[in-house]
Chain A
Amino acid sequence: MKRPSGWSLIKIYTLLIYVWMFTPIVAVVLLSFNPQQFGSFPMEGFSFRWYVKLAGNATILGAFKNSLVLGSLTAVMATAIGIPAAMAFVRYDFRGKETLNTLLLSPIMIPEVVLGVALLIFIRWLQQPKSFALLLIGHVVLTLPYVLLVVQARLVGIKREYEEAAQTLGASPFQTFWSVTFPLLAPAIFAGMLFSFTISFDDVTATLFWATAQNQTVPVKIFGMLRNSISPEINALGAVMILLTVSLPLAAGYVSRRFARGSG
């Protein structure tokens, strides 16, 4: 028999890592179809019981709506702020540019707990109550760095000559942005929006600090539910969230590839 080579050892090792990473996720999805209250393997039967129950759970549905609204608004706002900021950083020179850029990217490096507490203290100092607006602002701060990074990276790749050509042909700076820069930037803007949506949709730590009872998001809700009991409903919810957070970027990737092919 052939002795296993180093290469096949690496293959086995890689496989084991994947198994180790994905087994819990697969377990969650499988158990969500388990009719029993206390899930164990092997499963006895198959049912959509927990999905039906989930669909009837008003608080979960409310949290789901909150998450969707919050995620979408975060995505829109973060890109709306991120695009002009990226333009400024890549296309123009001004004093304190590096400092400002580092500052805007810093939420990636600062622990979320610190960020969560800091914003709370700030709002207290302003003598404002916790609100949805606070949550939204918080999430924009959290996701802005990702939008900035993605859009900046793309902008660096867009040759300045395109904009210069447009301007010499008679387009004002704004028209140039709208008809040349923005369309070329679109894939990155799209990616940035997706990033911020998924990050906002997934976030637990900071959201725990900022959310009021009325505007709890799904992850925070799950966290709360786990403190009392482990309901198989959570498995169903987890499966739905996995489906959403995986399929969205995949769909986006497909769409942007179609785009790319369309524009050559």
Chain B
Amino acid sequence: MEKEKDPGLVQFRGVMKKFGDVLAVEKTDLDIPEGSLVTLLGPSGCGKTTLLRMVAGLETPTEGDIYIKGNRINDVPIHKRNLGMIFQNYALFPHKTIFDNVAFGLKYRNIPKDKIKEKVSRALEMVRLPGVENRMPSQLSGGQQQRIALARAIVIEPDVLLMDEPLSALDENLREEMRLEIDNIQRMLGVTSIFVTHDQREALSMSDKIVVMEGGKKQQEGGPEEVYNNPANHFVADFLGHSNFVDGVIQSRDGDSYRVKLEDGNELMAEGGDWREGDAVEVVVRAQKLDIVPRDSHQTDDAVNCFFGKIKERSYMGGEVSYFVELENGTVLHVIGIVKTKPFRRGDPVAVTAPPRHCKLLRKEG
């Protein structure tokens, strides 16, 4: 019989952290469901690492409480919390063999010697590095060291696995491989995990839930698709993916669709949300959601949300091309198009169409 999963294995209740006078994390409430992988995503200095370190006990909350499995852990010392933590630069003990590194946490858990041996070799197999017990960390590559660090963290069967930018120090091609590795192992073990990163691709590809943070504040919380497709505010829309922003005012409403008068004089149809006539809004369109065709092949002049312009800049990226299109009224749009036949050149006249359902409306900030 499947046990019911705890929707809040880790709970933050009004957690706030100040370093001196500097507010690192504003009052935050957050639940980490059992068995899930939750990513704290944001630029450096957004408070994501501080939040993680407070779970580990490496920082103490200035205010608020943190619960693991329903127990308040604010005053539980670090070494009694039963957590696994992975650091950006591996933090393998350089003076210990791989075996001693992985066995380190087991030594403090009253586990008989032969059992330790068994667990270590099983953990090493899990990270696909069997038989390296007698090597020293410096004899392994960066990617291998991080896998050992993963083995060291999971071998103690932690309540929560904490990962602080574990992929940032790795080479680009290794990063993808390691990401899959972590993803697989996390799912296989079903260990509740908190993953801190500034890389949106990592966050989008492996998370059950993403918490976007900025300025010590939680900006949005939700599944990857939810956060990507329905950004809650300008920051989230801007941080995740490439977005175009245009200010405008709601002119009229027809059911779920709105006619928006843009500040550059154009009119645009957008969908979603609940707005009134006269509301100041910001229209967001993802660069990938804009359609781009040659000007002369564009048939009807009265198509919805169709704008004409010229290619101002382009950068070819293999499978896709990133264009900056200057419209007739001077507005520049960022369009990312899949290369089907021949990419446009600088100066080519084009027609850009923004499907209304991909035009999201945000409240105008500030």
Contact = CB atoms under 8 A, between A and B. Distances in A.
Interface string B82-119: 11110101010111000000001100110000000000
Contacts of A264: 94, 136-139
A159 B95 CA distance: 13
Contacts, number: 73
A189 to B, nearest CB: 13
B94 A184 contact: yes
Nearest to A180: B93
B268 interface: no
Contacts of A175: 79, 108
Contacts of B79: 167-173, 175-176
A158 to B, nearest CB: 9
Contacts of A184: 94-95
B39 to A, nearest CB: 19
Given A168-B56, A264-B137, A161 B105 contact: no
B78 interface: yes
A159 B93 CA distance: 10
Interface string A126-139: 00000000000000
B160 to A, nearest CB: 10
A171 B93 CA distance: 13
B77 interface: yes
B152 interface: yes
Interface in A155-207: 159, 161-162, 164-173, 175-176, 179-180, 183-184
B330 to A, nearest CB: 51
B259 interface: no
A263 interface: yes
A166 B139 CA distance: 21
Contacts of B138: 264
A164 B85 CA distance: 9
A195 B228 CA distance: 61
B156 interface: yes
B82 A165 contact: no
A166 B104 contact: yes
Give the residue among B58, B84, B93 with the most A Cβ atoms within 10 A. B93
B108 A263 contact: no
Give the residue among B89, B94, B137 with the most A Cβ atoms within 10 A. B94
Nearest to B95: A263
A160 to B, nearest CB: 9
30 contacts: A159-B89, A162-B94, A164-B56, A164-B58, A164-B91, A165-B85, A165-B93, A165-B152, A167-B79, A168-B56, A168-B57, A168-B58, A168-B83, A168-B84, A168-B162, A169-B108, A169-B152, A170-B79, A170-B82, A170-B109, A171-B104, A175-B108, A180-B93, A183-B95, A184-B94, A184-B95, A263-B136, A264-B94, A264-B137, A264-B138
